[in-house]
A and B are shown apart, each in its own frame.
Chain A
């Protein structure tokens, strides 16, 4: 009896084991019928944004596609991980980088697949704003697609401005006069700090180069027609240094170097600071710290970063690029997904649902319904500048990598008084020349 019972138990166990083995196999087989595409999302600093994109773009694509399945993996420090994996012949099928200069390096070293055939097949050349798509061209071939067009604007505490009767500035002279007045009122003029992101420095260097000397001069310098030591660039750096040394950025250089980002937003929202020059990525944080959610009754608003002549200038940048790994098993499937991902509909959904800055594709204003109206205004103004070709240049998009690191590292020596603006720009020029000679300059779209 005992051995028979054991025999029965064994049979039941085997049957159950078989059942469990078969059940998932069916699902796996079904999934494996689809062409697999992998991609990595950065989870450093929180996975909330990445999870939203996965839910709104990847899951929806997988549901509607019969032949392609995209697998998203959250990866800490995804760019470092991607570079290392690519160098070892691996990495995800869809390669994301933190900007065109990084994609340029990957393309130059043969890690990415040329996308020209896919661009023709899916009409990317027509869908994307030309200057932005041109940033992905290396040796006349397209290697990366731009995502997240960014710009910097001057955010300010509207309630505080109304209380003091201050007007949002349009020219740099107005900005300087206003900052002096705000400082005299015992309020910090600018809620800026670089404690958590040292490259923050380059936002201001880029803004002042473009807004003092003008984008045309920056274009000339980027294309080698003009030296970075031009007197107007020197004036730009001196003006920025003057503002830093006045203690207008967070109350002093030591505070600028140590204050946490969250504190800068909180101080702006509470009225302890008045203004903030920051990118379009800051909007979700502003909405968190201002108003009911932030526990105050204050409102924020924005104007273009003031320029010497008062004309609105939007310095454009690309925050992320997408390309296809040269070792991808299913490049056609990856391209099919990219085409879906960069469709105006999906980009609009990502903007509204996840707060992602849209890619440079034409989005109908109605599709952005539900977006904060101030944010929608910034996007509209930015798109207008982008389409008119009348835009400025962000350092992380248009400068080569070594010059870019130099820009944000070495400017601190100017602010500290260890070196002068001229010496700083001379250093930039010689490094820039070296990178031009080495062919490391990202493509600069014609104006």
Chain B
């Protein structure tokens, strides 16, 4: 009995050993290989459509590439031109900063107020959410042309107001240097703020009612409830959307291109419009790449600020 028992024991130990080894192999596969297999398709796509072009843009920014054919290496000449010669770049950069300022304030404030007002509504809540969200799902070309017609001083709302004798309405807002950028920002904002509002609303609905009741018991008014309960309650969403808004503001292109192509007299020209003009109209793809890289640099600064804040313990 003793011997066979030992053999059995030894066999079962071997099996156990094998099983453990195979489990370890399986665990290694599950933990180390399988996740990469799941990620691989999107990783491949991103390498193809993001990393590849990004690296090639880095290379072309050091060349005089026209967009077709051979590219000659010219060192940092494109960046020298950006810094020292191109006045359009400076005015476009300033316009980007104005755009950033507008989008970090107006739509976020509107969305916070909108979400706070809609949040307590129970009956018809879906209607309000949908009505305010719908502009976000409309294509930019539709929204731009809709507002172009509405703002037409002869045919649109402005024309109607002029006919009613409202002073100061007989102007083409998209045709004046001092009004064009805020007008395009208004149109873009019209489509954008509803999306922000829906996100903030979702965040607000996760805040416990008890916190509001406790605040009320402490004598908080509506503004204090908003400041001390709502804002801290949605801070992660709020900060994330501020980050995304800041990034997208630097990349904005569609509304400006559709409505004015950067005009009049460069008053609505932003960096992305300069990239397009240089790459596709002036055969300056190398220079356009350099401008594109500077845009990435500014976006990188914005992201870095958020990373630093997070490391310093901000809940974002």
Which residues of A approach B to under 8 Å, CB–CB?
80, 83, 86-87, 105-106, 108-111, 194, 198, 252-260, 263, 401-402, 404-405, 409, 412-413, 415-416, 418, 438, 440
The answer to whether B280 and A405 touch across the interface, beta carbons within 8 angstroms, is no
The answer to whether A256 and B261 touch across the interface, beta carbons within 8 angstroms, is no
Residues of B near A440 (CB, < 8 A) are: 283
B160-209 contacts to A (CB < 8 Å): 171-172, 174-177
The answer to whether A412 and B175 touch across the interface, beta carbons within 8 angstroms, is no
Main SS at interface, chain B: loop
- The smallest beta-carbon distance between B121 and chain A, in angstroms, is 39
Among A80, A106, A109, A412, point to the contact of B265 (Cβ < 8 A): A412
B264: interface (CB < 8 Å): yes
The answer to whether A418 and B70 touch across the interface, beta carbons within 8 angstroms, is no
* Contact digits for B259-276, partner A, Cβ 8 Å, 1 yes 0 no: 011111110000000000
Among B68, B174, B176, B262, point to the contact of A86 (Cβ < 8 A): B68
B66: interface (CB < 8 Å): yes
B105: interface (CB < 8 Å): no
The answer to whether A258 and B68 touch across the interface, beta carbons within 8 angstroms, is no
B24-69 contacts to A (CB < 8 Å): 64, 66-69
> How long is the Cα–Cα vector from A360 to B153 in the complex, in angstroms?
42
Residues of B near A256 (CB, < 8 A) are: 175
The answer to whether A109 and B175 touch across the interface, beta carbons within 8 angstroms, is no
B281: interface (CB < 8 Å): yes
Subset of 12 A-B contacts with CB under 8 Å:
A86-B68, A109-B68, A111-B69, A257-B172, A257-B175, A258-B153, A259-B154, A401-B283, A405-B277, A409-B266, A409-B277, A418-B265
Which residues of B approach A to under 8 Å, CB–CB?
64, 66-70, 148, 152-155, 171-172, 174-177, 260-266, 277, 280-284
Contact status of A254 and B171, CB under 8 A, knowing A405-B277, A416-B177: yes
> How long is the Cα–Cα vector from A409 to B281 in the complex, in angstroms?
11
Report the nearest B residue to A198, measured CB to CB: B261
Report the nearest A residue to B260, measured CB to CB: A257
- The smallest beta-carbon distance between A55 and chain B, in angstroms, is 29
The answer to whether B265 and A105 touch across the interface, beta carbons within 8 angstroms, is no
Contact status of A108 and B69, CB under 8 A, knowing A256-B175, A257-B174, A257-B175: yes
Among B152, B154, B277, B283, point to the contact of A105 (Cβ < 8 A): B283
The answer to whether B175 and A258 touch across the interface, beta carbons within 8 angstroms, is yes
The answer to whether A416 and B265 touch across the interface, beta carbons within 8 angstroms, is yes
The answer to whether A405 and B70 touch across the interface, beta carbons within 8 angstroms, is no
Among A80, A86, A108, A255, point to the contact of B153 (Cβ < 8 A): A255
Residues of B near A260 (CB, < 8 A) are: 152
> How long is the Cα–Cα vector from A42 to B172 in the complex, in angstroms?
31
Max chain B CB contacts within 10 Å: which of A110, A256, A412? Answer: A412
Report the nearest B residue to A427, measured CB to CB: B87
- The smallest beta-carbon distance between A249 and chain B, in angstroms, is 12
The answer to whether B175 and A402 touch across the interface, beta carbons within 8 angstroms, is no
The answer to whether B172 and A87 touch across the interface, beta carbons within 8 angstroms, is no
Report the nearest A residue to B276, measured CB to CB: A80
The answer to whether B174 and A109 touch across the interface, beta carbons within 8 angstroms, is no
Residues of A near B280 (CB, < 8 A) are: 80, 83
- The smallest beta-carbon distance between A288 and chain B, in angstroms, is 19
- The smallest beta-carbon distance between A420 and chain B, in angstroms, is 14
Max chain A CB contacts within 10 Å: which of B152, B171, B283? Answer: B283
Taking A254-B172, A258-B148, A402-B282 as known contacts, 14 extra A-B pairs with beta carbons closer than 8 A to each other, sorted by chain A number, are A86-B68, A111-B68, A252-B172, A257-B263, A260-B152, A401-B282, A402-B283, A402-B284, A405-B282, A412-B266, A416-B265, A418-B265, A438-B64, A440-B283
> How long is the Cα–Cα vector from A194 to B261 in the complex, in angstroms?
11
The answer to whether B265 and A255 touch across the interface, beta carbons within 8 angstroms, is no
- The smallest beta-carbon distance between A149 and chain B, in angstroms, is 23
The answer to whether B264 and A401 touch across the interface, beta carbons within 8 angstroms, is no
Residues of A near B176 (CB, < 8 A) are: 254
The answer to whether B68 and A105 touch across the interface, beta carbons within 8 angstroms, is yes
The answer to whether A109 and B66 touch across the interface, beta carbons within 8 angstroms, is yes
Among B175, B260, B277, point to the contact of A255 (Cβ < 8 A): B175
> How long is the Cα–Cα vector from A83 to B288 in the complex, in angstroms?
16
Report the nearest B residue to A418, measured CB to CB: B265
> How long is the Cα–Cα vector from A258 to B172 in the complex, in angstroms?
7
> How long is the Cα–Cα vector from A260 to B145 in the complex, in angstroms?
11
Contact status of A87 and B281, CB under 8 A, knowing A412-B266, A413-B266, A418-B265: no
- The smallest beta-carbon distance between A252 and chain B, in angstroms, is 8
The answer to whether B263 and A198 touch across the interface, beta carbons within 8 angstroms, is yes
Residues of B near A418 (CB, < 8 A) are: 265
> How long is the Cα–Cα vector from A83 to B279 in the complex, in angstroms?
11
Report the nearest B residue to A414, measured CB to CB: B265
Report the nearest B residue to A109, measured CB to CB: B69
- The smallest beta-carbon distance between A419 and chain B, in angstroms, is 9
Which 3 pairs from chain A and chain B are nearest by CB? Answer: A109-B69, A254-B175, A257-B175
Residues of A near B155 (CB, < 8 A) are: 263
- The smallest beta-carbon distance between A57 and chain B, in angstroms, is 27
Among A80, A108, A258, A402, point to the contact of B174 (Cβ < 8 A): A258
- The smallest beta-carbon distance between A36 and chain B, in angstroms, is 24
Residues of A near B68 (CB, < 8 A) are: 83, 86-87, 105-106, 109, 111
> How long is the Cα–Cα vector from A218 to B277 in the complex, in angstroms?
26
Residues of A near B152 (CB, < 8 A) are: 258, 260
> How long is the Cα–Cα vector from A405 to B266 in the complex, in angstroms?
13
- The smallest beta-carbon distance between A327 and chain B, in angstroms, is 13
Residues of B near A255 (CB, < 8 A) are: 153, 172, 175
> How long is the Cα–Cα vector from A87 to B285 in the complex, in angstroms?
12
Residues of A near B264 (CB, < 8 A) are: 253-254, 257, 412, 416
> How long is the Cα–Cα vector from A353 to B262 in the complex, in angstroms?
38
